[in-house]
């Protein structure tokens, strides 16, 4: 059977595309997903995401190559491998970034992607519980709501941040991103509203949409410089699907990997990996960016943290009421801060407050009760790469984020740690803050903090940029998201972002897919 659209990857962007493109009954749409259905119960119970970061049943569980400036560590990079992709395993924070993020895209070659161009697609995607407004949409597939449950310590964090001189904002996605507040979340009636729940599930009964799970695409089929289909493995067999348009929506790791496996990318590197060169496109796999994150952990003098939570009782309460701690996204409050080393008036640091100990993606359990402030640099200067290790499509690619390779990134990460300590030192936290666990009392100087960062900082799960859109020689797609120099092949996911946005990347990824689908 031939299809009008073949979408590779049922993550945040792929689910949007499957819904929007199949709205036209004349379009025959195939959606291929390497992972399985989103049936895991912890996907849909918001607090359950803490159990999914290391679950290989729904997660690619990638590791980077040794990162030179991070003491040569191989760093853990979880990414969703399930319907909904990372929107099914993330912390559900709904953030769009800053107006200037998108204006800078347009100014640097991605015409049509300025803030005023993209805002309508954020609005059309959204069903905000407060209804429609200048900055929010109503009636869209993606439910955005305020948290049904917050820990009292999250309110203390907000109070302490204000004491430390940071303004209170009422909407990170409104006219003033800078400040401190509770996060809004992609939840519906106390349950996670992933892209699979919001977009894909309502479309799955359409006769013109076919969804295949556990189907890993291995290469794009090319006829000269035109994409004519894909090859994939399903149920232990090699299969092919043919179609008029092939759309890669596999994310910042898998989309460039699949292009290179198909002979599309930097010719010398393709030849080195044993791949025949179909189209020399030097930008494929370049321009990798991510938010590096450092955690400050302190003991809590009160047992109100989530560390001692009775999970059985919380689960029972949630089952009957959709409320209580199990309805929390854990990262309940946060802040966007313009540091003293900011290069413009945009926030350059983002904070997530956790009313519990959280170390090494939750893989290291610490005794007692604690609190954690995550702090990440929003616009790092480091640029990494995705490379093939071999021509075997089932071999994970080489991920090199090149964290801390730039002086600015080192300076801003030190600032991240100092700001976190400053907030914990405020009067509002006095009744609660005990001894510091990390960085630890021995870390006093900038040099001490930088060494701690090299040893302990981790991804906050926002890789982008490896198939960037633009008009320069390193652009992989043009502003219409067509693959440069090829026909019938598109990339629509976070990999096309030229630069990181100032915040979480899920909402912008959904916007990108909405905008592309509207032009088809």
Residues acting as catalytic residues: 462
CA 270, 271, 274, 279 torsion-angle sign: positive
Q: Bridge partners of 227?
A: 222
**What separation in angstroms does the CA of 391 have from each of 221, 261, 263, 382, 388?**
15, 6, 10, 27, 7
The answer to whether 30 and 5 are in contact (CB under 8 A) is yes
The answer to whether 306 and 151 are in contact (CB under 8 A) is yes
Alpha-carbon gap, residue 331 to 172, rounded angstroms: 15
Length of the chain: 520
Alpha-carbon gap, residue 289 to 497, rounded angstroms: 10
Q: Structure tokens of 70?
A: 């991070």
Q: Structure tokens of 223?
A: 């006829």
User: Which among 398, 389, 401 is positioned nearest to 461, based on CA atoms?
Assistant: 401
Alpha-carbon gap, residue 368 to 264, rounded angstroms: 52
The answer to whether 370 and 297 are in contact (CB under 8 A) is yes
In this structure, how many other beta carbons lie within 10 angstroms of the beta carbon of residue 282?
15
Alpha-carbon gap, residue 236 to 224, rounded angstroms: 29
Farthest CA pair distance, the chain: 69
Q: Bridge partners of 224?
A: none
Alpha-carbon gap, residue 465 to 340, rounded angstroms: 27
- Please name the residues in contact with 274: beta carbons below 8 A apart, sequence gap of 6 or more: 390, 391
- Which DSSP string corresponds to 142-202? EEEB--S---HHHHHHHHHHHHTTPPB-S-TTSS---EEEEPPBSEETTEE--HIIIIIHH
Q: Mapping DSSP to helix (H, G, I), strand (E, B) and coil, where does residue 336 land?
A: strand
Q: Structure tokens of 352?
A: 């997530």
Location of structure tokens 């919380």: 314
Phi-psi region of 97 (alpha: psi -120 to 50; beta: other; left: phi over 0): left
């Amino acid at each position: 059977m031939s299809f009008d659209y073949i979408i590779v990857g049922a993550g945040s962007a792929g689910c949007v595309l499957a819904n929007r493109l199949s709205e036209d009954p004349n379009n025959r749409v195939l959606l291929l997903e390497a992972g399985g259905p989103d049936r895991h119960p912890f996907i849909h119970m918001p607090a359950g995401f803490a159990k999914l970061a290391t679950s290989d049943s729904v997660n690619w569980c990638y590791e980077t190559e040794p990162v030179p400036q991070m003491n040569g560590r191989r760093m853990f990079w979880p990414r969703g491998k399930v319907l909904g992709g990372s929107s099914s395993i993330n912390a559900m924070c709904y953030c769009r970034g800053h107006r200037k993020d998108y204006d800078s895209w347009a100014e640097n070659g991605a015409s049509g992607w300025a803030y005023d161009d993209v805002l309508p697609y954020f609005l059309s995607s959204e069903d905000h519980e407060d209804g429609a407004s200048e900055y929010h949409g109503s009636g869209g597939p993606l439910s955005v709501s305020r948290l049904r449950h917050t820990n009292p310590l999250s309110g203390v964090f907000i109070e302490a941040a204000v004491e430390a001189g940071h303004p209170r904002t009422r909407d990170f996605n409104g006219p003033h991103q800078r400040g401190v507040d509770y996060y809004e979340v992609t939840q519906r009636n106390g349950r996670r509203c992933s892209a699979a729940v919001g977009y894909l599930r309502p479309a799955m009964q359409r006769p013109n949409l076919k969804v295949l799970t556990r189907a890993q695409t291995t290469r794009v089929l090319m006829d000269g410089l035109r994409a004519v289909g894909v090859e994939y493995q399903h149920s232990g067999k090699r299969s092919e699907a043919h179609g008029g348009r092939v759309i890669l929506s596999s994310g910042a790791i898998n989309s460039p990997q699949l292009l290179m496996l198909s002979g599309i990318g930097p010719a010398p590197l393709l030849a080195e990996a044993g791949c025949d060169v179909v189209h020399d496109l030097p930008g494929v796999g370049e321009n990798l960016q991510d938010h590096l994150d450092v955690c400050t952990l302190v003991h809590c003098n009160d047992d109100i943290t989530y560390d001692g939570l009775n999970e059985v009782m919380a689960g029972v309460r949630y089952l009957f009421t959709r409320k209580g701690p199990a309805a929390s996204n854990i990262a309940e409050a946060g802040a966007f801060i313009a540091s003293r080393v900011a290069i413009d008036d945009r926030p350059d640091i983002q904070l997530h407050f956790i009313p519990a100990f959280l170390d090494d993606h939750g893989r290291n359990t610490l005794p007692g009760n604690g609190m954690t402030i995550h702090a990440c640099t929003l616009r790092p200067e480091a640029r990494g790469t995705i490379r093939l290790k071999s021509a075997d499509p089932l071999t994970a690619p080489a991920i090199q984020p090149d964290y801390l390779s730039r002086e600015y990134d080192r300076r801003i990460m030190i600032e991240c740690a100092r700001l976190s300590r400053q907030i914990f030192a405020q009067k509002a936290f006095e009744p609660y803050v005990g001894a510091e666990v990390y960085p630890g009392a021995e870390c006093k100087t900038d040099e001490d903090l930088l060494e701690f960062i090299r040893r302990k900082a981790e991804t906050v799960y926002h890789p982008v940029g490896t198939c960037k859109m633009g008009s320069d020689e390193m652009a992989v797609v043009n502003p219409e998201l067509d693959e440069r120099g090829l026909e019938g092949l598109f990339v629509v996911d976070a990999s096309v972002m030229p630069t990181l946005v100032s915040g979480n990347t899920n909402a912008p990824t959904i916007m990108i897919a909405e905008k592309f689908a509207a032009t088809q």
